[in-house]
Amino acid sequence: MTRTHSRAQQLVGDVTPKLAELTDEVLFGDVWARPELSRRDRSLITVAALIALGRPDQLRSHLALALENGVTEAELAEVATHLAFYAGWPAGMGAATILKDVLAQGRAS
C-alpha cells in the first residue's frame, strides 16, 4: 500500500520528522479544525499574517489553500493591497507578485 505524505512530510519530514508531525497533527489537525473560525477565515488571517511578516515561501502555499477554502481571487488581491499600507509597500507588492504566480499556476493546471 502506497502512503500519501502530507506537504509537511514532503518538505521536512526526512530532516525534522517531529516538526512535520506537529504541523500535521496540531496545526492542521487541531488548530485549523477548531469550530470558532471557518477554514476560509483562518486562511484570510494566515495570508494576512504571512504578508505582514514577509514570509513568501509559506505565503505561496497558503494562497493556494485560501483559494481551496473559498477565498476569492479578488479578496486575496485586496488583502495584498490593503496590507501595503500597513505592512509596507514591498510586502504588498511582493504578495501581489506571488499571488499572480499562484493564480497563473492554478489556471495552467
> Is residue 55 exposed (0-12), middle (13-18) or buried (19+ Cβ within 10 Å)?
middle
3 state SS for 22-48: HHHHHHHCCHHHCCCCCHHHHHHHHHH
pLDDT of residue 107: 84
Domains and CATH numbers, the chain: 7-36 (no CATH), 38-109 (1.20.1290.10)
Q: Average pLDDT by consecutive 10-residue portion of the chain (109 residues)?
A: 74 91 93 96 98 96 96 98 97 98 90
Is the separation of the CB atoms in 82 and 93 below 8 Å? no
pLDDT of residue 3: 58
Q: Which contacts (CB < 8 Å, 24+ apart) does range 77-86 have? A: 79/44, 79/47, 79/48, 79/51, 80/51, 83/48, 83/51, 83/52, 86/52
Model pTM score: 0.87
Look up residue 8 and give its amino acid.
Answer: A
